[in-house]
Structure formats: C-alpha cells, structure tokens
Amino acid sequence: MTAIRVQSLHKHFDKVHVLRGLNFEVNAGEGVILLGANGCGKSTMMRCLNGLTKANEGQIHINGVCVQTASRKQLRQVRRQVGVVFQQFNLVNNLSVFQNVLFGAIGRQRWGLMGAMAPLANAEERDKAMACLERVSLADKASQRAESLSGGQQQRVAIARMLMQEAEIVLADEPIASLDPKSGREVMDLLWDVVRERGMTVICTLHQLDVALEYGERFLGMKAGTIHIDAKRDAVDKAILTTLYQGQVRVDGQQTQLATDTEVMA
Amino acid sequence: MNADQRAAMAAPARFRSPSIFIWVVIISFAAFFIQGFASADIRSDRLLQGLGNLGNFFAQSVPPDTSRLGPIFRAMLETLNMAIVGVTFGVILSVPFALLCSSNTSPNAVVRSVSRMIVATLRTIPDLIWALIFVVAVGLGPLAGILAIVMDTIGFCARFFSERIEEIRPGPSEALTATGAGRMSVIFGAILPESMASMTATSLYSVEKAIRSAVVLGLVGAGGIGVELSVSMRMFRFDQALTIILVILVVVIAVEQISSAIRKRVI
C-alpha cells in the first residue's frame, strides 16, 4: 500500500524555485532516509507533506488523501496520521513534560485541547501518555518543565508526543542535528525502534552519512530541488551518497561550499 | 594590487555629513526648545521666590497631621482596590485584543488592523481624560476610576502582549498544528503558555502603573486618595497633605517591591 505519493511537486518562495518537480512514493511500513546538502529543499518538502507549507504545483497524497485539495477538516485528519519530529524538538518550554506528551492527543479529542490538558484529560489518555513516556525512559521526568531537560531528553519527549499521537507516518526532519554524537545515536536508536515496533512509515532526513547507512532501508537523495538518488540499501554506498554534496548548487542559485570531509564523514 | 583595488578598499570617511532628514529633525528640535524656553518666562527671581514658597509649604506641613489617618487609610484602600480591579479586568480583556492584533493569531488582516486601531486609540487617550469621560458617564466615585484604568490597561497590555505573541518561537505552535490541532488549541496550548512569563511581567508592571494613576485619578473626582489630597491642598492644610503624600509614597514603594519580587520568581 502506498502511504505517501508525491507527483511533480513544485514550490517557489518569491523568485526562488525550491522544489523542481519531485516524484516519489513511499510504501506503508518503509523506512526512508532523505539526504541532501543544506538548502536543497529537504525541509521544504517535509513541510509540504503535511501541509505546513503549501506547494505551488503537483500533488501529494497521504494515505490516499490529496493534501492540496483537502478541506481544513480533512487536512487536520491527515495531520493526525502524520507524526513530526523536529530538529529543535519544539516542546512548549514552560509546560511539564507530561503536558507536552499529552498534546499528542489533541487531534483525536473531540474538544481539541480541552481533552488534552493534564488536569482535564481522562484517565485513559493520562495512562497512555505515561506509557509513552515510559517507552522513551523518561517517566521519572513527567512533572519537570520541558526546558529543564537536556537536548537529547527533549527529543525523546518529542518522540513520546509523536507516539501519543498514534500516527501511522513519521516525518523526522534532522532529528539529531542539534544533538551531540552520543545522544544523537541514542535518539536515532530509540526512534528507529519505536517506528519498527509499531510498523510505522518513516521519512527521516539526516546529515551524517555513516548514521544514515546504518538505519536506512531506502535512500532518497535530493539535489537542487529534485530527487537525485532513489535506491535501496544494497545499491548505495558512501561514495554514491557523497555525490549529493559535490558541485552543489543551491536552489537559490548560489554556489555552496563543498561539503568538508568532516561533514561527510561525521 | 593596482590602484583601483586600493581605492576600493579605502576606509570609510571619518565623518559623514548628516542627511537632510537629520538636519530637519535637529532644526525643528532646536526651534521648539528655544521657543518653549522663552515662553516659559524662566527668570532667576521667580525661581528664588518659588524656592521661598516651597520652604513655606514644608514649614507649614511639618509635623504631618495624623488626626485623619482613618479616612486617609480608607481612601488609600479604595485607591488600591480601584487599581487591582481595573488591572484585573484590563488584563483579562487585553488577551483577546492581543490575539486579534498579532499577525500570527489574527483571523485576517481587516480584524487585525481594526483591533490595532482600537488598542492604539485606548493607549493614546491619557488616563486622566478617560477618568473625566467616565465621571460624566457614571458619576463621581471609584467606578469611574476603575473604568479609566481598564481602558488604560488594555491600551498598554494588549500592545505588549501582542508584541510578545508575535515574537515567540514558531516551533511549538507548528508542532501542535502538525498533530492535527485546531487554531484555538494551538493558541491555548502553545502560544499563550510560551508568552506567559512575559505577559505576567507586563501585567505586574501595569499594576504599578495603575496604582500611580489611581492616585492621580482622584484629583478629577474618580475616587480614592487623590480626592483627599486635592481637598487638603485646596484648604491649605499642608500638614494633612504631607501625611497623604507619605502614605502614597509608602504604598507605591511597597507595591513596586512586591511586584518586582514576584517578577523575579516568574522569569
């Protein structure tokens, strides 16, 4: 079954043509790693998938529903099925960890936020939120303020929020880019484990090729707003992936620096 | 390196001549200043005479007359009440106004500019004028003062709340939107909690501001200790006036201390 279908997707920001006709499909349960240099349009593409950014041309179908033509209600329905893990975690800083996890339930609550606030939520949702926190081994931090946690812990809370959402598809946009290598590994292991446990479909963008090669089953490589590489695990190696970072022209027309060795190797 | 390149790398000029705009600002400022200074008729003999009168005032006001402490405290309490009630309603009403004024929460551009205009009007009209208007509308007494403070607080708080709302990180709101949350859920789940600390600090500051203006509002009959003060002054009972001024001083300083203590704890 096709979970995500993207057809000739275009996106302009003013004069800058960021996405130039993307085409790909992702099957349900597939684990896809998306690679590409800074500015090649990865994040824009990810934001288009759940309608946070409106694409200009082309079509996106999530579980068969067209994101562009969806009504506001349908779009919210689509978003409920798509969990997002952000580079900057995006927790609400001065609320508790527990509350942040409960927010994952907003989409399915009839009264929206009212059903997902710690003092008002029903026992079932509260238990579910605690179970999600236990899954990411942070149950003991439930009543702490989100901002008091380390970066790695915050990202695990964000993963718990995504679990709470009971999404079928996960979009992780550079989930470990602001973490040190060790906590990055831990977060990546955790993310991949929970995704596999629940049989979720995942697209994850990464910058570290070594890490990417460890986790990915399929690789999408973007270059200058198009899909440059689309291959299974056994068909790629580091040399092929490194080409994504060479002779790179940014979508806004500026020449980027060549990726340094450390960046590619890291 | 050839001559052209060297010229291109020369340091910028030491002094830049001001633009026409700056000249206009400087000249009109100078004109207003000189005209104002001249028309105020500032002469040394007037200043000296004023100093003498001031000495008289203090001579007559010391020792402060404490015989009317009871009514003075009651009036001070009324002033505090006016400030607290007025600020509370003002802050509560400021939140929806701020949400309508902010570019990231307003439903559309028309609503945004209309509510911005309303808030700007509330802010532009000074509290004393609001008090005069409400004394006409609801009569003398604290209600007029409370309404004046409500207006003043909305003008102040709605503007600063909305600035805060506009500058919060977009991330948490996006995260909630991405879970399928509706607009209201995003506002109450992410936007308001993210701006809460700064909004509390602004509200506390507006309490301080309201206490000061509640004192003055009494002078135009809008209730509170200002009424007492203006009566004492008009009856040349400077010793009573000094007592009132000292009470005001103590209360205002106390409120400012308490509010800054709370502020330190929330931020």
How does pLDDT run across B147-184, given as a tens digit for each residue?
999 999 999 999 999 999 999 999 999 999 999 998 89
Query: What's the distance, CA B171 to chain centroid?
Result: 32
C-alpha to C-alpha distance for A130 and A146, rounded to whole angstroms = 15
Q: Compute the 3-state secondary structure of chain B and give helix, strand, coil in percent, each to the nearest 5.
A: 80, 0, 20
Is residue A187 pLDDT above 70, yes or no?
yes
Which among B175, B180, B189 has CB closest to A90? B175
**Average pLDDT rounded to a whole number, residues B53-71:** 87
Spell out which residues of chain A touch residue B185, defining contact as CB-CB under 8 Å.
106, 112-113, 116
Q: At what angle do helices B238-266 and B225-234 cross, to 10 degrees?
A: 150
**Amino acid of residue B99:** L
Contacts of A32 (CB under 8 A, 6+ apart): A26, A202, A203, A204, A216, A217, A218, A219, A220
DSSP string computed for A43-94: HHHHHHHTTSS--SEEEEEETTEETTT--HHHHHHHHHHEEEE-TT----TT
> Is the model more confident about A255 or about A78?
A78
Spell out which residues of chain B touch residue A175, defining contact as CB-CB under 8 Å.
none
Spell out which residues of chain A touch residue B168, defining contact as CB-CB under 8 Å.
none
Farthest CA pair distance, chain B: 90
Spell out which residues of chain A touch residue B267, defining contact as CB-CB under 8 Å.
none
Q: What is the pLDDT of residue A259?
A: 43
pLDDT in tens, A113-168: 877 888 888 899 999 999 999 999 999 999 999 999 999 999 999 999 999 999 99
Residue percentage of chain A with pLDDT more than 70: 92
**Average pLDDT rounded to a whole number, residues B43-62:** 88
Which residue, among B205, B178, B182, has the nearest Cα to A49 in the 3D structure?
A: B178
pLDDT class for A104, splitting at 50, 70, 90? very high
- Which chain A residue shows the shortest CA-CA distance from B189? A113
Which among B178, B181, B190 has CB closest to A52? B178
Q: Domains of chain B (ranges plus CATH)?
A: 67-266 (1.10.3720.10)
Q: Which two tokens stand for residue B202?
A: 């602004």
Interface test with A, best of B179, B183, B192 (most A CBs within 10 A): B179
pLDDT in tens, A19-70: 999 999 999 999 999 998 888 888 999 999 999 999 999 999 999 999 989 9
Q: What is the pLDDT of residue B227?
A: 87
CATH of domain A2-265: 3.40.50.300
Which among A76, A78, A84 has CB closest to B182? A76
State whether residue B176 sits within 8 Å of chain A by CB. yes
ipTM confidence: 0.87
Q: What is the mean pLDDT of chain B?
A: 90
State whether residue A92 sits within 8 Å of chain B by CB. yes
Q: What is the pLDDT of residue B199?
A: 93
Across the interface, whether the CB atoms of A106 and B181 are under 8 A apart is answered: yes
Is residue B4 pLDDT above 60, yes or no?
no
- Which chain A residue shows the shortest CA-CA distance from B181? A107
Q: What is the mean pLDDT of chain A?
A: 87
pTM value is: 0.81
State whether residue A165 sits within 8 Å of chain B by CB. yes
C-alpha to C-alpha distance for A113 and B191, rounded to whole angstroms = 13
C-alpha to C-alpha distance for B51 and B32, rounded to whole angstroms = 27
Spell out which residues of chain A touch residue B188, defining contact as CB-CB under 8 Å.
113
pLDDT class for A264, splitting at 50, 70, 90? very low
Across the interface, whether the CB atoms of A86 and B196 are under 8 A apart is answered: no
Q: What is the pLDDT of residue A261?
A: 39
8 Å CB contact between B218 and B225:
yes
Across the interface, whether the CB atoms of A84 and B182 are under 8 A apart is answered: no
Which among B174, B189, B193 has CB closest to A106? B189
Across the interface, whether the CB atoms of B178 and A104 are under 8 A apart is answered: no
C-alpha to C-alpha distance for A153 and A130, rounded to whole angstroms = 15
pLDDT in tens, B185-216: 999 999 999 999 899 999 999 999 999 899 88
Residue percentage of chain B with pLDDT more than 90: 60
C-alpha to C-alpha distance for A94 and A102, rounded to whole angstroms = 14
Residue percentage of chain A with pLDDT more than 90: 58
pLDDT class for B15, splitting at 50, 70, 90? confident
Is residue A78 pLDDT above 90, yes or no?
yes
Q: What is the pLDDT of residue A156?
A: 94
